[in-house]
Structure 1
Amino acid sequence: MPKIISHYVRIVDAVNYRIGRIMMYGIFVMMGILLWSSISKTFFLPSLWTLEMAQFALVAYYIMGGPYSLQLGSNVRMDLFYAEWSDRKKAWFDSFTILLLMFYLGVLLYGAIDSTAYSLQYNERSPTAWRPYLWPIKVTLCVGIFLMLLQAISELCKDIAKIRGVEL
C-alpha cells in the first residue's frame, strides 16, 4: 500500500482512538446531569435544563464515540454466516458494506451541514422552556459524522489491504 494511505490510516485511527477514549467518560457527565435532576426534583425546584442537557450529552456521547466503535469492530453484525468466513472473504464483504455506510454518512453529513447553517443563520433555539441554542449540538453532529466518514474510509483502506494480502 502507498505510504500516504498507511499514513492516513494511522492518523485517522489515532485521532478517533483518542476522541473515543475521552468520550468514554461522557457517561459520567450524563450521570451527573441526571443525578442533579433527581436531587433538584426531590429537594429543590426542578431544573429546566437537565432533561435537554442530558439529551445533548447523550448525542455527543454516541456521535463522537461512533468512529471509535467502528475502529474497534464493536458494531453490530449478523454473525450467522460472517463468523465462518475467511478473513479475506470478510474483507470483501466489509469493503462492500463500508461503501454503503460511506454513502449514508455522506447524505447525513450533507443534511447536517445544511441544518447547522440554518441554525447559525437564524440563531435557532429549542422550543422548550429552557430555550438553548441548537447550533452547538448541530456542530457536534457535523464533526462526529465527518469523523465517522474518515474512519469508514480508513476501514475501507484496511479491508483493501487485507484483500491484497498486506496488513496496515
Structure 2
Amino acid sequence: MPSAIRKFVNGVDWINRMVGYLAMYLIFAMMGILLYASFNKAFFLPPLWSLEMAQFFMTAYYLLGGPYSMQQNGHVRMDLFYGEWRPRTKAIVDSFTILLLFFYLVMLLVGGISSVEYALKYGEESYSAWAPKMAPIKIIMCIGIVLMLLQTLATFFKNIYAAFGEPAHEL
C-alpha cells in the first residue's frame, strides 16, 4: 500500500478513535440531564430545556460515535451468508457496499450543509417553548457526517487491499 494512503488511513483511524472516546462520555451528560429533570419533575417544576438538551446530547453521541463504531466493525449486519465467507470475499463485498454508503453520506452531507446555511442565515430556532438555536446541533451533525465519510473512505481502502491479499490489520 502506498505510504500516502497508509498515512491517510492511520490518520483517519486516529482522529475517529479520539472523537469516539470523547463522544462516549456524552451519554453520561445526557443521563445527568435526564436525572436532573426527573428529580425536578418529582419535587418541583421540570425545566423546559431538559428533554430537548438530552436529545441534542444523544444526537451528538450517535453522530460522533458512528465513525468509531464503523472503525471497530461494531455496526449491525445482516449475517445470513456473510459469516461463512472467506475474508477475501467479505472484503470484495464490503468494497462494493461501502460505495453505496459513501454515496448516501455525500447526499446526507449536501442536505446537512444546506440545513446549516439556513439555520445560520435565518437564526432558526426549535419549535419548543425553550426555543434553542438549531445551528450548533446541525454543525455537529455535519461534522459527524464528514468524519463518517472519512472513515468510510479509510475502510474502503482497507477492504480493497484486503481483497488483494494485504490484511487490514497491517495498515
- TM superposition score normalised by structure 1: 0.98
2:44 corresponds to which residue? 44
The 10-residue stretch of structure 1 (37-46 or 154-163) with the greater mean CA deviation from structure 2: 37-46
2:12 corresponds to which residue? 12
Please tell me the root mean square deviation across aligned C-alpha atoms, in Å.
Answer: 0.6
2:97 corresponds to which residue? 97
Shift of 1:54: 0.5
1:108 corresponds to which residue? 108
2:75 corresponds to which residue? 75
Cα distance in structure 2, aligned partners of 1:53 and 1:73: 29
- Could you give the per-residue CA deviations for residues 64-95 of structure 1, whole angstroms, max 9, x where no partner exists? 00000000001011111000000000000000
Shift of 1:166: 1.6
2:131 corresponds to which residue? 131
2:59 corresponds to which residue? 59
Q: Describe the SS at the equivalent of 2:40.
A: helix
> What is the letter of the counterpart of residue 49 of structure 1?
W
> What is the letter of the counterpart of residue 137 of structure 1?
I
Structure 1: where are the runs of 5+ without partners? none
Q: Identity of counterpart residues, as a percentage?
A: 55
1:158 corresponds to which residue? 158
1:121 corresponds to which residue? 121
> What is the letter of the counterpart of residue 108 of structure 2?
L
Moved over 6 A (4+): none
> What is the letter of the counterpart of residue 155 of structure 2?
E
> What is the letter of the counterpart of residue 141 of structure 1?
M
Cα distance in structure 2, aligned partners of 1:27 and 1:142: 20
Cα distance in structure 1, aligned partners of 2:148 and 2:126: 26
- TM superposition score normalised by structure 2: 0.97
